[in-house]
């Protein structure tokens, strides 16, 4: 992995390590990078922000 390359930190899928970051979300006061695949899944979850 090149230095400084971010990996997905999807809080609902701890196994994802995709580096193609689509968006960032704030959860529990932390800024988390989210990949395109995980973002599509999160967008369909019934969670309150």
pLDDT at residue 48 greater than cutoff 80: no
pLDDT value for 3: 58
Alpha-helical segments (H) within the chain = 36-43
Residue 39: per-residue pLDDT: 95
pLDDT surpasses 70 at 1: no
Q: What is the pTM of this model?
A: 0.78
pLDDT tens-digit map of 6-47: 999 999 888 999 999 999 999 999 999 999 999 999 888 887
Mean pLDDT calculated for residue range 2-7: 76
For the chain, the structural domain boundaries read 1-7+16-49
Would you say 39 and 21 are in contact if contact means Cβ atoms under 8 Å apart?
A: no
Q: Which two tokens stand for residue 15?
A: 């196994």
């Amino acid at each position: 992995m090149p230095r400084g390359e971010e990996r997905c930190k999807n809080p609902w899928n701890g196994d994802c390590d995709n580096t193609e970051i689509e968006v960032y979300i704030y959860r529990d006061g932390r800024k988390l990078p989210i990949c395109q695949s995980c973002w599509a899944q999160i967008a369909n979850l019934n969670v309150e922000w």
